[in-house]
Structure 1
Amino acid sequence: MENYKLGVRASWITVIINIILAIAKIFAGVLGSSNAMIADGVHTLSDILTTFVVLLGLKISSKEADNEHPYGHEKYESVFAKILSILLLITGVFIGYKSIIILINGNINTPKSIALIAAFLSIIVKEGMYWYTIKVARKIKSISMEADAWHHRSDAFSSIGTFAGVLGARLGFPALDPIAGIIVSVLVIKVGVELYVKSVKELVDESASEEVLKIIKEKAGSIDGVRGIKNLKTRVFGNKIYVDIEIFVDSNISVKAGHDIAEKVHDRLEAEISDIKHCMIHIEPFQK
């Protein structure tokens, strides 16, 4: 629940900043005769939509397990991350399409200095929002918030392209505006594809990393009475991990003693590895 509150607070902060920034950019674009800046402002408006999607994802994924979802709701994080990655892809395609049309038609106005100033400020603000959001996302292990952070950075990339285009147009090179837009669109699409692949991996019960598997084996094997590990399987479930592990115990001890050893392994793994949501221990007889 603490992670949910932290994520919600960060998301609302970015919503407020984006609303102010979008209005300022569109106003600067209209006043400064810059189509690129107007498009950049619309891009920022799309960030507001994606952040609301993140808020919805955080709310649902933080719910406790129920009869219909006995394993919890964490996978909804990955579902909403897929939605955000698709929005990133659409945004990238839109930016690229508009830039290509402008380049073909040659309808490029010479923008005023207010558009240049707005683009520069947007780069600073959006990059700051990226680092703030990505820090919170990694702390609470939220893939949908991580996707939202990259949406902020895509807006910063967009503003870099806008800045270069506006500056180029004012220096007598109007074609730099749409060319920069095309480059930005490719970067945004790349991020969208990467996040889509990452969210899909979480939805298909991919195993935890080799590093995590090594830690689990070391901690389980260090428990007194564990004679070895026969099998270890893990699956990523949203921002959590489910563990199934088979351990060897002396074949001559009682069922109660074997159960106690398994209980110690279970308690240690869940207590010392915060990402583990549930651990299932199965005991096997060890014979020399």
Structure 2
Amino acid sequence: MNSEERYKVGNKISKITILLNLMLAIGKTIVGVIGKSNAMISDGIHSASDVLSTICVMVGLKLAKKPEDKRHPYGHEKFEPIVAKLLALILGITSIGIGYKAIKDIMVGTYSTPSIIAVYAAIISILIKEWMYWYTVRGAKRIQSSALMADAWHHRSDALSSVGSLIGILGARFGYLILDPIASIVICVVIMKVSVDIYIDATNQLMDCSADNETVNKILKSILNVEGVIKIDVLKTRVHASRMYVDVEISVDKNLSVSEAHDIAEKVHDKVEITTDRVKHCMVHVNPC
């Protein structure tokens, strides 16, 4: 899948999730006010932050699809993990705000009893956000986008926070009023955990970490299956956002001509690049054996 196709898939998913998040943000905030549920209002704010994060994803996907140029000879794919780090920070700030308000409510003792409408809103929110999570995850895996995957986890964290809201609302309706702000604290912790995980993953992509063991072993097997390759001396992989670079040193018969050794290197190059579509380029060095 080329950069333009990746962008079209990601852009379509982002537009759909923005529309749904806007509806949820407005709906949950209104229901939270009418139903007297602080947890539901917090949930609405979280959905609103998801709209902003998805817009960031759209911008990141657009920038990442730009072709190589003189100043950026390796392309612009790293815009995606940069955006993912930004989304992680937005999530973290959101969680701190929600947690601060909840703790303040507990200390002051400003509890309220949510109405039944807040219960229905929480259930609807859980179903919609969970669908959005799976829809976005499928797209993220299809185009191998870290930014879109981060956005998917925004949706999953929202679904989990809605579960917390539901528990708090039901608890408050049965007389345990403190459960509503406690649910907001649970939401805060869940969102913060997700934000840290996303931030670490994006940082790893920017630091040129190696590919996972499964991918490396797949590449190793494909190289060793090339006729003329005696052994692999060095194999290095470098994750480059949604893509990957591979550097390999192979040993071939020392009696081969330069042209024959080059042909083997070309076969290795082509084999690696078709083994996984994440490979953007493979550099092959030949050693005599």
- Residue 9 of structure 2 corresponds to which residue in structure 1? 6
Partner of 1:252: helix, strand, or coil? coil
1:279 matched to 2:282? The reply is yes
1:66 matched to 2:69? The reply is yes
1:99 matched to 2:115? The reply is no
**Cα shift readout 1:17-69 (whole Å, capped 9, x = no counterpart):** 11111111122122222232222211111100000000011111111111111
Figure out how many residues of one structure are paired with residues of the other and give that number: 286
Return the offset for 1:220: 1.0
Partner of 2:110: helix, strand, or coil? coil
Partner of 2:175: helix, strand, or coil? coil
Please tell me whether the aligned partners of residues 95 and 188 of structure 2 are also in contact (alpha carbons under 8 angstroms).
yes
Give the % identical residues: 49
Partner of 1:282: helix, strand, or coil? strand
Gap regions ≥5 residues in structure 2: none
- Residue 165 of structure 2 corresponds to which residue in structure 1? 162
Partner of 2:248: helix, strand, or coil? strand
Partner of 1:23: helix, strand, or coil? helix
1:33 matched to 2:24? The reply is no
1:209 matched to 2:205? The reply is no
Instruction: Identify which of 182, 187, 194 aligns with 1:184.
Output: 187
Partner amino acid, structure 1, of 2:228: G
- Residue 137 of structure 1 corresponds to which residue in structure 2? 140
Partner of 2:232: helix, strand, or coil? strand
Gap regions ≥5 residues in structure 1: none
CA distance in 2, matches of 1:176, 1:94: 18
- Runs of 4+ that moved beyond 6 A: none
- Residue 24 of structure 1 corresponds to which residue in structure 2? 27
Instruction: Identify which of 224, 227, 233 aligns with 1:230.
Output: 233
- Residue 111 of structure 1 corresponds to which residue in structure 2? 114
Deviates most, 92-101 or 76-85 = 92-101
- Residue 84 of structure 1 corresponds to which residue in structure 2? 87
Instruction: Identify which of 255, 258, 271 aligns with 2:258.
Output: 255
CA distance in 2, matches of 1:93, 1:166: 21
CA distance in 2, matches of 1:257, 1:203: 37
CA-atom RMSD, angstroms? Answer: 1.2
1:153 matched to 2:147? The reply is no
Partner of 2:67: helix, strand, or coil? coil
Partner amino acid, structure 1, of 2:58: L
